Every structure is written in C-alpha cells, then in structure tokens.
Structure 1
Amino acid sequence: MIGPFIRYLAYLPANLAFVLAAYVLSPLLAGLSLLTGPRLPGVLQWFSTLDANLDGGVAQGVAGYRAGLRGWRLWWQRTCWICRNPAHGWQSELLGMPSESSVIVRQRLSETPKNQWYVMETAKGVRFFCFKRDQPLFGGFYLKIWIGWVNKSYDGRNHHYAFQIGPRRA
C-alpha cells in the first residue's frame, strides 16, 4: 500500500501549482467566458470542472448560484465557481486514475465521525486510495477533508486527484 501514497505525494507539488494557477487566473478565465460562453475553450476547461460548465453551480442547485445573471455578477459567479472547483480538469486528466474497469478492493465507512476509506484498483492492477472525513466544527460548519483520488468518476473517465481541506456549511 506504500506505492499509492508515494505516487500521491509525488503528484502533490504539481497539484498545488495547478490549484494556485486556477485561483490566480480565475478572474481572467471568468472574463474570457463572458466572450466565449460558459465552457472554457480547449485545455482552459481543465482549470474548472470537466463534468460541468462555469454555470454548474446553477444547474446543480448550489446555494448562492443563480440563473439569469449578466455582466459583473455573472463574471463574479463564474470566478467563484472556478475557485470552488480549482483545477479539477487537471486533477482528472493529468493526475487522475482511469476509471474504466476500476474496482473498489477495500472500503471502510463510519458514521461517527463520518469517515470514508477506499482502496481501489485500475484495470491494470494499479492501486490507489481515497480518504474522506467530515469533521464537525461549530454552528453548522464542518471541516471537509478529501485526500487521495475521489472514489467516483465525475467525468466518466477518471478518478480525479483530490487534496481538499476546508470548511463547509452542513
């Protein structure tokens, strides 16, 4: 099981660089989207999500995302969407693990505290893992911790690399 951890740590610097670039470029990318539409052109879409366009928060019913916005408000909403899902395309396409014929070989779930641990294997026998924890904090907030590769494939092709630690509202 050491191999997947070493691979994960080896990818970490690239992941942090991609995420930082997504944050820095998010205002420019959102501005470009006002000219090109809600899906960024070509590889620029890798700075956002592959399974949704920049208006994905509206379609998914995410609190605070509204339909029908224009101008600065639309630009701000799209900037926020990129920052909410920074570099998911890079994390899937470059750092991800193929989902075709991958299987879960071990799974451990607990409710208190809410923990999820998965060990998965690609069709070629390469193992990878996913750890998720929702740590309750206060006032309806919790600390969301995702490390490894997400246990489900959002884009239908890859399990994307995950390094997400941050507060969320319950």
Structure 2
Amino acid sequence: MYARYLLVAPLSLAFNLFVMLTAPIWAAWAAVANVERLPGVFAYVHTHDDDIYGFVDKPSTIWGRFKTACWWLWRNPGYGFDAYVLGFDAAGVLIVSDSGVVDFDQGKTVSRLVVLLAANGRRYFSYRRDQMLPGNRFAKIWIGWHWHANDGRRHMIKVMFNPFRRVS
C-alpha cells in the first residue's frame, strides 16, 4: 500500500510540474479551439471532474478563455492523470479504517487517516493534515489517494503540501 505510493507519487509530481510549465500551451489550444475539454489523453492535463475552465462559465473571448484555463491548470494540474493513470476505480470501494476527523480548514491542527479497500483487493490510504503555523496560517498536507471519488468514478492520487493557507 505505502510502497505503491512511493513509486507513483514522483510520477504525479513530475507530471503536475510538466503541466504547470506547459499550461499556456494547453490553455491556448482550448481557447482558440473554443473547447471545454481537450481531446483524448490530452484531457489528463486538466481536472477529470470538470472542464479546463474549472467551476466558472466558459468565457466568451479567446483571451478570457486563455487566462481562465491557465489559472485552472496552475491551480489543479494533472488531475486527469492522477485519477485515470495513477488512481483507481471507485466501484466497489470500501472504507476499512477511518480516523473520522472531518473539520478541516477551521484553524486548528487536525488529521485524518483513511484506508480504502478496492474491488480488486488492493488497499489504498489517504492521509490529510492541517498543521497550524504562526500568523493565522496553516499547512495543508495530503498524501495517498483521495478518500472520495470527486467524479464518482475514480479515486485520484494526492500529493499536496501547501504551507500558505490562511484561516478565514
């Protein structure tokens, strides 16, 4: 379970860095072609549970589409890859262990460890932690696979360390 993560997490990080560096190319393609999703395997560069513009309506101008797609790709790089190449199918998944903490982003140090059992018998883990830092800030740390399939079909790998979050 953990060895698999140590093998595939660097792939996720490398692909996400690749997407972030090349985001203007993917954004320009989507903006000029006026599409919401890139075709075929190219859709791996953006989110698997939304289009290349994210949660906003597709802008009407090429420049607007380009800026919005760049922002979304930089915010959520490679989610399609993380779900469909490095993730696993959500059908038949059972949660076999859950520490139960759910009050994240609330201004306190909390963590949650979830162990999932996939239909094929493999186990996957998810660990999220909000670590409070000085100055009303916290580090959002998430490793493993997401315990919830955002699109209802795939559990994506998570590799996140964001020490710049603020308590709202």
For 2:87 and 2:76, the matched residues in 1 are separated by 15
- Stretch deviating more after TM superposition (103-112 or 19-28): 103-112
Which residue is equivalent to 1:30? Answer: 27
Distance 2:116 2:85 in 1: 18
Residue 9 of structure 2 contacts residue 157 of structure 2 at CA under 8 Å; is this kept in 1? no
Report how far residue 69 of structure 1 moved: 5.8
**Where do 5+ consecutive residues of structure 2 fail to align?**
none
Residue 103 in structure 1 maps to residue 99 in structure 2: no
Letter of the structure 1 residue corresponding to residue 130 of structure 2: D
Could you state the TM-score of these two structures normalised by the residue count of structure 1? 0.85
Contact 2:143 2:160 survives alignment (8 Å):
yes
Structure 1, residues 13-61: CA drift from partner, whole Å, max 9, x if none?
Answer: 21122111111110110000112222122211111101100222326xx
Q: 1:54 corresponds to which letter in structure 2?
A: I
Gaps of 5+ in 1: 60-66
Deviation at 1:68, TM superposition (A): 4.2
Please provide the CA RMSD for this pair: 1.9
Residue equivalent to 1:90: 81
Q: How does 1:71-150 map to 2 (within 5 A)?
A: 71-110=62-101, 112-138=108-134, 140-150=136-146
TM-score between both structures, scaled by the size of structure 2: 0.86
CA distance in 2, matches of 1:104, 1:17: 29
> Between the two proteins, what is the percent identity of the paired residues?
32
* C-alpha separation in 1, matches of 2:78 and 2:59: 25
What corresponds to 2:4 in structure 1? 7
Instruction: Measure the CA separation in 2 of the matches of 1:158 and 1:57.
Output: 19
Q: Distance in 1 between matches of 2:64 and 2:85?
A: 32
Segments ≥4 residues shifted beyond 4 Å: none
